[in-house]
Each structure stands twice: as structure tokens, then as C-alpha cells.
Amino acid sequence: MEEVRLLQRCINDLVSVLALPALWAGRGPAQVLRTLADALFGMLRLDLVYARLNDVGGAPVELARVGQAHGWAARADELRARLLHALGADPRHWPESTRVTEGGTSMSVVPLRLGLKGEVGILIVGSVRLDFPLQTESLVLDVAANQAVIGLQEVQLLVEQKRIADDLDRRVAQRTAELSVAIEDLRREANERRLSEQALDGARAELARVARITTFGALTASIAHEVNQPLAGIVTNASTCLRMLGADPPNIEGACDTARRTIRDADRASDVIKRLRALFGGKGLTPERVDLNEAAQEVVALSMGELQRCQVLVRLELADDLPLVTGDRVQIQQVIMNLLLNASDAMSGVHDRARQLVVRTENEDDERVRLTVRDAGVGLNAQSVERLFEAFYTTKKGGMGIGLSISRSIIDGHRGRIFAAPNDGPGATFGFSIPRSFDDAARSPRV
């Protein structure tokens, strides 16, 4: 009957030990150790319990439970010193049990390693009974030690997970703050860039206007010639009309013909003024269908007085089957005029050959048309070709270095390309090509 009673008690104790992890959930190492010591002290009616954890999630933890009637030291550090003196410092060499006497009281002491080599900690229990530990008690102690190791490892894992989570939260918060600062910097830089681009667009527009005004000054003679011809016709026709009306009898039919010629010349003068306003004004125009041949002829006609003054011979080689293009007529004409005047300037120092300028239009391929201006001037060198279209770069004495840069901006805005190359003989060829359809360009250049 005694064996059955002991077995029943062992089973109850094992059930209680196995239930301990439920009490340890969410608790720290010290609480796990305290719960274990109290449970064993009560279940096995022990007289001594000493436990120590080796740095599980923090500083080492130790505790002691000693029966008050036995005279053993109750302080954990004093009890540890006495027990290790009796058992030895190395847990790997501890006996399964031993008898230790302190203050006149002898106890049977059972040391247990927490972990294979005691790396987690140690658990030492004792009883004044001579038959301690019984086989059933040894079983309960071994199970309790294993449960304690599992529980403490789970606590250690939770502590490490919390440390990692806290570190991750800290790093996320730090990175979030850094990203917030970076985003704010990017916003500020984007705003500064937008303002800079607006200022640059304004500067480009102003430079384009200055370039047109500068060109206007160079074309004063041509403008005067273009306007004076129809004005002279108007004056002559008006005088003739007066004479015919003053005749006796009045020549009504001749006066009407003369009046019509007067109106024609006035329209010619008006057309010249309109072209000049469009070419040298500051307003952008809506893209339209443009005959590149006609646009080139108008610019040559407008520039003819200046070209003749510079003794430049102009030959037009315009393709008969040239398709229309869609673009900004005024800006395309500005590019053509700039290429004409640059070619004229390049031949200003030529005295040993004819100052001949050839304007040619042609189909570049199925989708693009090309206009080139070939001169017989001083030519180009390899270094200057690379930089010709850079802003403020010029090879001309007193030049501003903006004409070709603005021309490139205009052609780029038409999704075209502008180019320059030395001729096989004297001089150089400048030109541009643009798509036939402005749908490919998708936008009007802003210069």
C-alpha cells in the first residue's frame, strides 16, 4: 500500500511539474526560478532549495529556500559557497547525491544541472531525511529540471525576440526620420529646381528675343529695301492717279488701274511688316502646316539686302516633291535666318573665291525633311564642331554665342536634330532635319 501511495503521489507531483510552463508564460527568468523553487519545496517537502541562472536575458539570478528549524544559512550567496565547497566547483563532476552537514544539521543534497553542462544554471535541493531522494522523487526532480530548462530557454527566446523587435523598431524609427528628412530635402530641391527651370525658361526666352533683335539690327538694310520698294510704288502710282484724274477729260479707267496697283503695293508693304513682326516678336505661335521651301524663300528674300551688301551669292536648290511639315513657322524661319547670317559672316574674310551660299532642301527619309546651308567660308575644326551648339560658345569676334544654342533648342523642340560639318572643299555646311508630322514632336518649343 505504501508503494501505491508513493506512486500516486509521484504521479500528482509530475502533473503539477508539467503544469508549471502554463504559469511561466510571459514571465521573466527570476519569476520562473521562484515558481519552480516554491513548487518543489512544497511538493517534495524539502528542507533546502538553491537555484542559480547564468545570465538568462540579463544579470545572473539566484535564490534560496531553507527550512527555519535547521540552522542553515538562508542567504543565497552564503548557501552557494557552502554547497559548492561540498560538491565541487565543476557541475560536470558532481555526485548524484551527497550528505552535507551545516550548523549541526545534516542533509541529503541532490545537485541538478540546468542544461547539458550546466550552461543555463544549477538547481540544488536537500532534505534531512536519510532516504532522500526516493526513486520517485529523483524522477520528479529530473522532470522539473528539464521543464525549467525548456521554460527558461523560451524566456530567453522571448527576451531575444523582444530585443530584436525593439532594435528593429528603433532602426525603423531612425530610418523613418532619416527618410522624412531626405523627402523634405528632395521636396526642397525639387522646388528649387522648378524655380530654376522657370528662371532658365525665362532666360532662354529673353536670349531668344535678344537674338532676334540683334538679327533685326543686322537686317536693317534688307528691311528698308523690302519696305521702300512698295512705298515707292505707292507714291508713284498715287501721283500717276492724280495726273490721270486731272486730265481733260479725266482718264477714269487708267486712274482705276493705277489705284489698284497702289492697293497692291500697300498690301506688299503690309505683308513685309507682318513678317517682321512675326519674326522678331516675342509671342509663340501655334504649330501649323509649313512649306519649308516657301519658308526658306521668305527668309532669303528678307535677308537679301544684307547678303548683297556682304557680296554673298545665294543659290536655292529646293526639292520639288518636298512634303509639308508641321511646326512653328516663325521659329523654323528664325533658325534658317540664323544659319544664313552665320554663313555670311563665315565668308566675310574670303577674297580669293566667290562668296557662294547654297540653300538646299531634300527628303532625308520617309519621315523627315532636311534643310542645309552650305558656305565657302573659313570652315570648321574638329574641336569647334563639338561645342558649336553650346550656349555662349562662339568663334566669331564680338559674337554672343547664343544663336546656334537657341537654334538647337528650337529644333530639339521639334524632335529634330541640328548639325554642322566641314565641307570636302572650303567652308562648312550647317543644317537641320525635322519630322514631317508634329505628332512625333508632341510639343511646341518654348524659346
Residue 201 lies in a domain: no
- 140 and 226 co-located in one domain: no
- 67 and 110 co-located in one domain: yes
Top-ranked range on mean pLDDT: pick from 21-25, 27-31, 179-183, 197-201: 179-183
Instruction: Answer whether 415's CB lies under 8 Å from 348's CB.
Output: no
Top-ranked range on mean pLDDT: pick from 68-72, 186-190, 239-243, 275-279: 186-190
What values do phi and psi take at 434, rounded to 5?
A: -135, 155
How far apart are alpha carbons 442 and 209 in whole angstroms?
Answer: 24
Q: Which of 126, 147, 165 is the last residue of a domain?
A: 165
Instruction: Give the least confident one: 16-30, 76-90, 273-287, 352-366.
Output: 273-287
Give the residue, 155 or 290, on which the prediction is more confident.
Answer: 290
Residues 6+ apart with CB under 8 A from 419: 430, 431, 432
CATH (domain of 136): 3.30.450.40
pTM to 2 decimal places: 0.43
Q: What is the mean pLDDT of residues 69-91?
A: 80
pLDDT at 144 over 50: yes
Given this model, what pLDDT does residue 360 score? 94
- 344 and 229 co-located in one domain: no
HEC per residue, the chain: CHHHHHHHHHHHHHHHHHCHHHHHCCCCHHHHHHHHHHHHHHHCCCCEEEEEECCCCCCCEEEEEECCCCCCCCCHHHHHHHHHHHHCCCHHHCCCCEEEEECCEEEEEEEEEECCCCCCEEEEEEECCCCCCCHHHHHHHHHHHHHHHHHHHHHHHHHHHHHHHHHHHHHHHHHHHHHHHHHHHHHHHHHHHHHHHHHHHHHHHHHHHHHHHHHHHHCHHHHHHHHHHHHHHHHHHHHHHHHHHHCCCCCHHHHHHHHHHHHHHHHHHHHHHHHHHHHHCCCCCCCEEECHHHHHHHHHHHHHHHHHHCCCEEEEECCCCCCCEEECHHHHHHHHHHHHHHHHHHCCCCCCCCCEEEEEEEECCCCEEEEEEECCCCCCCHHHHHHCCCCCCCCCCCCCCCHHHHHHHHHHHCCCEEEEEECCCCCEEEEEEEECCHHHHCCCCCC
Given this model, what pLDDT does residue 374 score? 93
CATH (domain of 372): 3.30.565.10
Instruction: Answer whether 56's CB lies under 8 Å from 36's CB.
Output: no
- 236 and 89 co-located in one domain: no
Given this model, what pLDDT does residue 350 score? 83
pLDDT at 399 over 50: no
C-alpha cell at 114: 540546468
pLDDT at 442 over 60: no
Q: Which of 147, 165, 183 is the last residue of a domain?
A: 165
What values do phi and psi take at 236, rounded to 5?
A: -65, -45
Other CB atoms within 10 Å distance of the CB of residue 259: 16
Alpha-carbon distances, residue 429 vs 89, 134, 215 (angstroms): 99, 112, 20
Residue 194 lies in a domain: no
Alpha-carbon distances, residue 367 vs 327, 370, 416, 420 (angstroms): 14, 10, 11, 21
Given this model, what pLDDT does residue 443 score? 42
Q: What are 48's strand-pairing partners? A: 66, 126
pLDDT at 279 over 60: no
Top-ranked range on mean pLDDT: pick from 193-202, 213-222, 259-268, 437-446: 193-202
- 436 and 289 co-located in one domain: yes
Give the range of the structural domain holding residue 379, as residue numbers without chain letter.
Answer: 282-441
Residue 190 lies in a domain: no
- Share the mean pLDDT of the chain: 78
Give the chain's domain count.
Answer: 3
- 319 and 381 co-located in one domain: yes
Residue 321 lies in a domain: yes
- Dihedral sign from CA coordinates of 43, 44, 45, 50: negative
- 246 and 353 co-located in one domain: no
- 342 and 429 co-located in one domain: yes
Given this model, what pLDDT does residue 361 score? 94
Top-ranked range on mean pLDDT: pick from 40-44, 126-130, 244-248, 368-372: 368-372
Q: Which of 240, 260, 277 is the last residue of a domain?
A: 277
Top-ranked range on mean pLDDT: pick from 24-33, 62-71, 361-370, 400-409: 361-370
Residue 192 lies in a domain: no
Instruction: Answer whether 312's CB lies under 8 Å from 342's CB.
Output: no
pLDDT tens-digit readout, 195-218: 888 887 777 666 666 666 665 555
Residue 74 lies in a domain: yes
Residue 195 lies in a domain: no
How far apart are alpha carbons 146 and 44 in whole angstroms?
Answer: 17
Residue 206 lies in a domain: no
Top-ranked range on mean pLDDT: pick from 5-9, 220-224, 427-431: 427-431
C-alpha cell at 64: 534560496
- 333 and 422 co-located in one domain: yes
- 239 and 368 co-located in one domain: no
- 123 and 260 co-located in one domain: no
- 300 and 397 co-located in one domain: yes
Q: Identify which of 86, 101, 94, 159 has the alpha carbon closest to the alpha carbon of residue 122.
A: 94
pLDDT at 353 over 70: yes
Given this model, what pLDDT does residue 445 score? 42
Buried b (16+ CB within 10 A) or exposed e, 397-422: eeeeebbbbbbbbbbbbbbbebbbee
pLDDT tens-digit readout, 371-384: 999 999 888 776 67
Confidence of residue 314 (pLDDT cuts 50, 70, 90): very high
